[in-house]
Amino acid sequence: LHVIPVIAVTAFAMKGDEERIRQGGCEAYISKPISVPRFIETIKSYLGDA
C-alpha cells in the first residue's frame, strides 16, 4: 500500500492544536486563513516529482 498523506486544513489555531492534530495522524497542518502559496507548497512537498 502507498502512504496517503493527510493535510489538515482547520480553523483551530490555538496553542496545542497543531500537536493534537498531528498526534491524530495528520502529516501536515495548515490553519485558516489559508495562505494559498503555503497550501500549494505543502501539497507539493508530499507529491515530490509526481
The answer to whether 11 and 29 have CB atoms below 8 angstroms apart is: no
Rounded distance between C-alpha atoms, residue 12 and residue 44, angstroms: 23
Per-chain mean pLDDT for the chain: 90
Band of pLDDT at residue 41, cut at 50, 70 and 90: very high
Q: What's the pLDDT at 17?
A: 92
Band of pLDDT at residue 13, cut at 50, 70 and 90: confident
Does residue 1 have a pLDDT over 60?
no
Neighbours of 36 (CB within 10 A): 7
Does residue 22 have a pLDDT over 90?
yes
Contacts of 27 (CB under 8 A, 6+ apart): 5, 6, 7, 46
Q: What's the pLDDT at 50?
A: 63
